[in-house]
Amino acid sequence: MYWESEGNQYFIRFESGEPLLKVLNEFVISQRIEFGFFEGIGGLRKVKFGVYNDKTKTYDKHSFSDFCEVVALNGNISLHEGTPFLHVHFLGASGANQFLAGHLFEAEVAITIEMKISVSSLQVTRKYEEIEGFKVLQLKNRFICVPDF
């Protein structure tokens, strides 16, 4: 992986064969990134992803071993119990014009992934919320919109 930084942004090029999320997580730790957002494009293979099923409260998991063009890769970085937590979604297209999308669990870089991370100085963490069944961002302010009836 290669990278440069400017201000609060990192520009990254992952190399073919790298385990994307493992390398990204190690980089986040090395740079002490606690909260930020990222976006990227490129190619992946050996993709494991899932789509949340709100009826079963589990992910319907899928895998795709061939190359897929990454049309969109985005997510955020936060801390959960002091450890970096990567929340990653992707949209990919295969050569058969098949689209793959969902929560990314694992993938190997194919050719490259080009990514930008924007880091924030806000102190935002994640905490498990029983009602949602997820580790959600903990934010200080709440806005409630009252609908017109």
**pLDDT of the residue at 134:** 83
Task: Give residue 74's Cα distance to chain centre.
Answer: 5
* 91 within domain boundaries: yes
- Span 30-72, pLDDT tens digits: 999 999 999 999 999 999 999 998 888 889 999 999 999 999 9
Question: Residue 40 and residue 14: Cα distance in Å, rounded?
Answer: 10
* 146 within domain boundaries: no
**pLDDT of the residue at 54:** 84
- Over range 104-127, report the average pLDDT: 96
Cα dihedral 69, 85, 26, 76 in deg (nearest 10)? 50
Amino acid (1-letter code) at residue 142: R
**pLDDT of the residue at 56:** 86
Predicted confidence band of residue 97 (pLDDT cuts 50, 70, 90): confident
Residues 6+ apart with CB under 8 A from 17: 108, 109
What total of structural domains would you count in the chain?
Answer: 1
Q: Give me the domain span that covers residue 11.
A: 2-123
* 25 within domain boundaries: yes
- Over range 75-94, report the average pLDDT: 96
| DSSP 8-class letter at 30 | H
**pLDDT of the residue at 95:** 81
Mean pLDDT, the chain, rounded, equals 94
Predicted confidence band of residue 102 (pLDDT cuts 50, 70, 90): very high
Which is nearest to 103 in space by CA: 80, 81, 86? 86
* 103 within domain boundaries: yes
CATH code assigned at 107: 3.30.1330.80
> In this structure, how many other beta carbons lie within 10 angstroms of the beta carbon of residue 113?
25
Cα dihedral 52, 135, 75, 44 in deg (nearest 10)? -50
Beta pairing, strands 68-80 & 134-138 = unpaired
Residues 6+ apart with CB under 8 A from 55: none
